[in-house]
Chains A and B, each alone.
Chain A
């Protein structure tokens, strides 16, 4: 009995050991098609990784269901993760050998993804389709090292959001066309209480994370006549006239010489009708419509003011559908993406065009979508969406070198340091320029 008891204990210990080993093994599902031991299957299931969660996921589902019912041999399984987790999810899944077949990627990650050979180059017919049917900024945003890697989807330009009511109350009928006008109007509109707390902000930049600060900066700099980096992505243009003037403008909004309080939340404040002007991307109009409800009629959008009002400029960032270079079903994946982005299915719109309009009140940048009666009617009736659609014709693409995320972090931290009086304007120009150039080497 004693021996039996001891043997049981040993067996239990070994069982626990076995359970530990089993649990530490790979328990994830291998992506469709991966696994050299699988026999070629007639039906393939492709995983599609996106940042569409919640309501957006629900809006995308009918389109996926339509494809799945019409194409029983190629089934699409969408996987949505929060935007903030998407890049990390792509990274960890790829290194674990469980990368999704189709990925929705933000152009800023393009450099990193290209360096690590994550995305497959688009087949010739797809690349030709993209080049022929999308604006230049969108094509560049969907390209890495000059080669198209997928279909541009959300192509969002930046513009000046303004509150018509606040401008009118201060005696202004039109939005500003120059930077000086913008600053003087902002000063006239700004209201503070007796303790110095801002009640109405004339102009505020949105803050929070690098992209939220940097993209408006790059849009303003484009309006001043220059991209942040040289065309070959090896040099910083912050020490050019455009770069210096843009940083100087920024120093006049917040900080030691700033005209308003940095702690006032411009994002929330615009939604509550307390901010007269700010810079934002096209998708934000959809959010403001939900937040502001009836007050949304106070919102207007105009091209970003330029230094002297004589030129137009902005940036557009791009999201792109791409195919994993390690996917075993690339042909099937491209077939789906071609249907999603180039086949007219309803109201003259492609599935992607239909989704962008419904989910984000955004116009697709594809020519055929823009020529559809439904989108034309929408553009004619909604000046905000029309403004952003027009901006794509002169927008520069958001540049994405391999170290794009670090470059944006450097710019962001230097701007924030200037705004919180940790460094002067001159030091900000020099430090940001030097540090960015160092990263681009």
Chain B
């Protein structure tokens, strides 16, 4: 009876899993496999019958010495991801810590989460106005205190950092939401015991809060990095073509242009797979580092 019951339960379990498995197969596995196949072909994007197998030629092209993919595009992608994650993480840690010590925590969380639920296109356009060198708010402030106006998005040395600042600001809300949930999950008993032992606020933060918040921090960092490395919309809206002169061009934007503007679907797919490998490696490194630090749940 028991073994028969198990079989029935197993069948039932798989029956309920089939829809989601089918969903993943149709919308994830098949496109990924097809994308890999495209990366080994030359295809203009118009007619599937016109695909020509070229082996690893596309990968050779993007790693060639005259290719812009490794530098500056992939370099920009790393700088963008690390920069925006660092900015949003440090700010979110501070904000979430402060929120848990304030009244009306829900209101504060909502305020900080607002940018996360606003369309990136709108945000990008608003920041374009803020950064406007002729009559933007930032330059009005700078000129009112006697400083020269700054070409935030036209100066290749600072354009990428200008976009990173916006991306970092955008990422604060989502991270605050998750970190405050993680902070609430830390039992108060530990803080009470530490207070009785004479530990101050900072000692408690570094000895209790941070270690117990590690799983949450790991989740935030991994998801933020993945999002940062895949960033596309903000750069497209704020700089359109990744300019000036590729200084803000990132991997996802370059892939989009290769496929939809230039008709180089093979090259675009090859770039996508290289980016996938990069994201995979970075995620694995994060997992290893955190596991060594005692986070076993991942």
Chain A residues in the interface with B (C-beta under 8 A) = 6, 9-10, 13-14, 16-17, 20-21, 24, 87-88, 90-92, 94-95, 112-113, 115-118, 195-198, 208-210, 261-265, 403, 405-406, 409, 412-414, 416-417, 419-423, 435, 438
Contact = CB atoms under 8 A, between A and B. Distances in A.
Interface string B65-85: 010000000000000000000
A264 B134 CA distance: 7
Contacts of A112: 44, 46, 263
A420 B153 CA distance: 11
Interface of B: 8, 11-12, 15-16, 18-19, 22-23, 26-27, 44-48, 50, 66, 133-134, 143, 148-149, 151, 154-156, 240-241, 243-247, 257, 260-264
Contacts of A94: 45-47
Contacts of A262: 151, 154
B262 A403 contact: yes
Given A9-B12, A88-B260, A409-B261, A117 B50 contact: yes
Most B C-beta atoms less than 10 A away, residue of A10, A195, A261: A195
Given A91-B260, A91-B263, 5 more contacts: A6-B8, A14-B18, A112-B44, A115-B263, A406-B262
A17 B246 CA distance: 46
Given A91-B45, A95-B45, A20 B22 contact: yes
A261 B18 CA distance: 61
Most A C-beta atoms less than 10 A away, residue of B50, B257, B261: B261
A353 to B, nearest CB: 31
Contacts, number: 121
Given A195-B149, A197-B143, A416-B245, A20 B19 contact: yes
A417 B143 contact: no
Contact of B149 (A6, A17, A118, A197): A197
B154 A420 contact: yes
B46 to A, nearest CB: 4
Given A95-B47, A262-B151, A262-B154, A420 B244 contact: yes
Contacts of A435: 66
A117 B247 CA distance: 35
A420 B44 contact: no
B15 A197 contact: no
A420 B156 contact: yes
Given A95-B48, A116-B44, A265-B134, A413 B243 contact: yes
A422 B22 contact: no
Contacts of A92: 45
A47 to B, nearest CB: 16
A83 to B, nearest CB: 13
A187 B27 CA distance: 58
26 contacts: A6-B12, A10-B11, A10-B12, A13-B15, A13-B19, A16-B19, A20-B26, A24-B26, A87-B260, A91-B263, A113-B46, A116-B45, A117-B47, A117-B50, A195-B149, A197-B143, A209-B240, A261-B133, A263-B133, A409-B257, A416-B243, A416-B245, A417-B156, A417-B244, A420-B154, A420-B156
B45 A263 contact: no
B46 A116 contact: yes
A196 B148 contact: yes
Contacts of A118: 46-47
B160 to A, nearest CB: 13
B19 A17 contact: yes
Contacts of A209: 240-241
Nearest to B246: A413
